[in-house]
Chains A and B, each alone.
Chain A
Amino acid sequence: MNLKRTALFPMHQKYNGRMVDFGGWELPIQYESIIKEHHMVRKKAGLFDVSHMGEIEVRGEKAEAFLQYLLSNDINKIAPGQVQYNIMCYPDGGVVDDLLVYKYTTEHYLLVVNAANTDKDFEWIKENVFPGLEIKNFSDDYAQMAIQGPWAEQILQKLTDLELQSIKYYWFQANVEIAGKTAIISRTGYTGEDGFEIYLAPEDAIDVWEAILTAGGEDIAPIGLGARDSLRFEAKLPLYGQELGPDISPLEARLGIFVKFDCGDFIGREALLRQKESQPPRVQAELLMLERGIPRSHYEVCQEGKVIGQLSSGGLAPSLEKNLALALVDREYYQPGAEVEVMIRNKPVKAQIVTGAFYRKKTRAS
């Protein structure tokens, strides 16, 4: 199978990215070291190519009503220029995808979806769409990069006349000039740090990438997918396919604050309401490893020899210097403070159910 390449592929070559097949995309897992790149983003700033993400536009008179029906969050709550984290469910409460919704007007939205789900999402949206709406998959028309870290604003500010401080957390601005190119900028990200995501025409991507690295000098570095994953995991941000999926509901994943039952019907509402009332059978647990060993997704969690759940993500949290995991465990065994075992290569390794062990997000809202 031919791997797809982003517009920034020549940059990954230039900066010695170690390229891997990531869901059909040829992207860098790392440039120098996942751990070094992780610390760079927490301490200074990092630049990510996230052009593989999908962009789907919804336009038409009933766009708002449609998205209210398609998605679990309350779309009425956001104003033009605002971004909302949202979840798209199946009728049984399983998750099609998690996504960001950019609202231009009540008749024009941009949905930013997970790369591997783009085609599936597009089909699902078309299947359920209200008559008279226009749904377009613009994924090939956008390159996307993310600049993340405490110094992100200061570095990006050198390249634009727009006062970046005016973009609040989870707001965006279209038609912004960055390094002479036109872009959409949002104060969003997937690292637990302050920062921006930038959408622009693929042919402008390399110039802006290079301008950002030049503006940041020693205080910024290109960051690969390895650190993207360790950063999001350490900040306890969900990853579709691990924390969320067709067989994991947003309530089980503890994302209930993005599920609003009091603003009309939406796909999956009935099933999720039933689950809320009877309490979901499984819940997400934070685990701290007490003994040596690296927890990884799909490993079993046991208590006194009985399997009580499975890890969704796990590993070293580099900034916390702890081995942590997220698990989906049977509700009856969820007890903060309780000791459990993570099965690592058929050996039980001690861990504890904890709360608040993950990285506290340093975004502008918190």
Chain B
Amino acid sequence: MKIPADLYYAPSHEWVRVEGDQAWIGISDYAQHELGDIVFVEMPELDDELDAGGQLGVIESVKAASSIYSPVGGTVVAINDELEDAPQLINEDPYANYIVVVAMNNPGDLDKLLSAAAYEELCRKEQGGE
């Protein structure tokens, strides 16, 4: 299970890469592995306002639909169109394939997120609790 050290993580298994005031958001390796084969990603639209912890979209695997949440609040400034025709890219490389980019309205949201080490601990607990 890959957990890059330079990203922030939400307990709901999304990652955030920060570039300036922009947050690139995707789902973690743990999350894609738990979901299994991803067949559809329902994304927000450009200019949508997202709340920190609010729903960002839905990921559909072969077996089930799961909500994904925005770790930070802000405005959607880019969506990854590639996922429309190739949602399985998230299974192939969850960190290279972001879902949306959000212009953050409150960088303080990042303080509530987990470091790679803390996130790894969380995943280990969830796995052990199965």
Residues of A within 8 A of B (CB): 18, 29-30, 33-36, 226, 230, 292-294, 296, 315-316, 345
Contacts and interface: CB of A to CB of B under 8 A. Distances in A.
Given A29-B63, A226-B62, A230-B62, A316 B36 contact: no
Given A36-B37, A226-B63, 9 more contacts: A18-B36, A30-B36, A33-B91, A34-B62, A226-B62, A293-B42, A294-B39, A294-B40, A294-B65
A318 to B, nearest CB: 8
Contacts of A292: 40, 84
B36 A33 contact: yes
Contacts of A296: 65
B60 interface: yes
A230 B62 CA distance: 8
Nearest to B40: A294
Interface string B65-81: 10000000000000000
B58 interface: yes
Nearest to A293: B40
Interface in B96-114: none
Contact of A34 (B37, B58, B60): B37
A219 to B, nearest CB: 22
Contacts of A33: 36-37, 91
Cβ-closest 3 pairs across A and B: A294-B60, A35-B37, A34-B62
A18 B130 CA distance: 11
A133 B34 CA distance: 49
Interface of B: 36-37, 39-40, 42, 58, 60, 62-63, 65, 84, 91
B68 to A, nearest CB: 13
Contacts of B60: 294
6 contacts: A29-B36, A34-B37, A226-B62, A230-B62, A292-B40, A294-B65
A63 B59 CA distance: 51
A296 B84 CA distance: 19
A27 to B, nearest CB: 14
A316 B62 contact: yes
B62 A35 contact: yes
Contacts of A226: 36, 62-63
A345 B58 contact: yes
Contacts of B58: 345
A220 to B, nearest CB: 20
A154 B95 CA distance: 42
A34 B91 CA distance: 13
Contacts of B37: 33-36
Contacts of B91: 33
Nearest to A33: B37
A34 B36 contact: yes
Contacts of B62: 34-35, 226, 230, 315-316
B130 to A, nearest CB: 9
A292 B65 CA distance: 14
A281 B58 CA distance: 35
Contacts of A35: 37, 62
Contacts of B36: 18, 29-30, 33-34, 226
Nearest to A345: B58
Contacts of B84: 292
Nearest to A296: B65
Contacts of A36: 37
- Residue of B37, B58, B65 with most chain A CB atoms under a 10 A cut-off: B37
Nearest to A34: B62
Contacts of A345: 42, 58, 65
A346 to B, nearest CB: 12
B118 to A, nearest CB: 26
A360 to B, nearest CB: 22
A15 to B, nearest CB: 16
A260 B62 CA distance: 37
Contacts of B65: 294, 296, 345
Contacts of B63: 29, 34, 226
A121 to B, nearest CB: 27
A81 B91 CA distance: 46
A39 to B, nearest CB: 11
A178 B39 CA distance: 39
Nearest to B130: A19
A316 B60 CA distance: 10
